[in-house]
Amino acid sequence: MGAKAADELTVGDEVEVEIGPVAHGGHCVARYAGRVLFVRHSLPGERVRARITEGGSGDRFLRADAVAVLDASEHRVPSRCPAAGPGGCGGCDFQHVGTGHQRELKARVVTEQLKRLAGIDREVRVEALDDEDGLRYRTRVEFAVDGATVGLRRHRSHTVEAVPGCPIAVPEIDAGLAEVRADVAGDPGALEGISAIDVVVPTGEEDTVVVEVPGDAPTPPIPMTEVVDAPLGRIPMAVDARGFWQVHRDAPRVFVEAVLAAARVEPGERVLDLYSGVGLFSVPLAAAAGEQGQLIAVESDRRATDHLRENLDDRPWALVVPGRVDDLFGVPRKGPKGAKGGRNGRGRTRGRPTRSDLLPPSADVIVLDPPRSGAGRGVVEALVSLRPRRMVYVACDPAALARDTAYLAERGYALTGLRALDAFPMTHHVECIAVFEPARGSVPSP
């Protein structure tokens, strides 16, 4: 039987392909008779046998796994995790790649996104954090639960892989997982109604925290303490066990140092910290602004906001403003797909929100750490209207950063600094801290 035509390929088919460049998302690009394949578990320059995992006739591209390596890259190494690879745990993208080369691949992705979406040519270097060759760094892991099976989900799947442990997690995580499994072995129905198990190793607590996440109800608050070694001293911070916190054990320290160095806040200045969470940046930024200055922190999550107030309690010049950044700045949200005539999915017209009176008319420095989707054009325009002398943008997605970089350039703010940090070794994720300043030293008009 001859080889299938490219437009006939479907799930389960296997083809031999040459692997091209790395792409954003943990895969590399290949072509089969002109058809685009996004191939996981591969490396640029390799020749592999790829098995189609998603897509078929009519789709713009196909997803595939490299199930056999015919010509290997010099950067390929034996996987550090027995559960990684085709059909296994989907948590790691680069277990088969040398750690140093992982950072080179991530740098290529950031470079390519800035060039493609923002028209910026910039050399990027991804910096390592304090981890042991990309292993044993993660202090928080959410394990999925399926009946009596506890593990991690396969890539783009609901299937739970019963992993023996997690090599990128600190040892206490594996110990917590083992205890959960021992309990289940003694009582197979122990996890009935539970959708996930969070295992957390906080730096400010003696014990590992294990949280059972109900499938049909909110998890009750579980306050705990993280400790950050900041330039201004050790900072204890209240946070919920299921709240957002950087998972790399060294990331809070490195990020705070990087943001403070980038922001260059002077005493007496007004600083905005947007999407602030529990205040990882708010607390040291408030200290830098001092009693003659002002810190305004904006956060939408209710539990995070409660902890944010607690963490800023001894700094009366800091103001916490609860709410979504776009809503508070009066930026209209996009309606659901398919909605027409300015109405939302339930038929009600969504009016333009009113700008909050709690937000100032100007700011000296703005720090923002938006979600993976980025800030967006509307928020960027609102921030530019405050005419800050400097903006520091913490980005977990290089494509979103590049899009917002283009919006900022349109409004007269240039990218003047960029650091890329490898806060998630063995995965495709990379954190960037970007600095924007008025182009040619002049503050643009709003």
Compute φ and ψ for 403, nearest 5 degrees. -60, -45
Give pLDDT, residue 351. Answer: 63
The pLDDT tens digits for 322-353 are 999 999 999 998 765 544 433 444 444 456 68
Helix (H, G, I), strand (E, B), or coil: what is residue 328?
Answer: helix
List the beta bridge partners of residue 390.
365
Instruction: Reduce the secondary structure of 363-402 to three states and give it as a string.
Output: CCEEEECCCCCCCCHHHHHHHHCCCCCEEEEEECCHHHHH
Looking at residues 190-215, what average pLDDT do you find? 96
* pLDDT surpassing 80 at residue 87: yes
Map tokens 């990331």 to a residue. 251
Q: Of the residues 81, 166, 396, 432, which is catalytic?
A: 396
Identity at 133, one-letter amino acid code: D
pLDDT band for 446, please (50, 70, 90 cuts). Answer: very low
pLDDT at residue number 338: 46
Residue 342 CB coordination number (10 Å): 12
Whether residue 211 has pLDDT greater than 50: yes
**396 classed as catalytic:** yes
Domains and CATH numbers, the chain: 12-76 (2.40.50.140)
List, for residues 370-426, the tens digit of each pLDDT value: 999 999 999 999 999 999 999 999 999 999 999 999 999 999 999 999 999 999 999
What's CA 225's distance to the chain center, in Å? 22
pLDDT > 70? residue 251: yes
pLDDT at residue number 303: 97
DSSP states along 343-355? B-TTS-B-PPPPP
With tokens 């954090």, the residue in question is 129
pLDDT at 6 over 90: no
Q: Mean pLDDT, to the nearest integer, of 78-105?
A: 96
CA 287 to chain centre: 26
What's 407's DSSP letter?
H
In whole numbers, what is the pLDDT of the chain averaged over residues?
94
DSSP states of 114-127: HHHHH-------EE
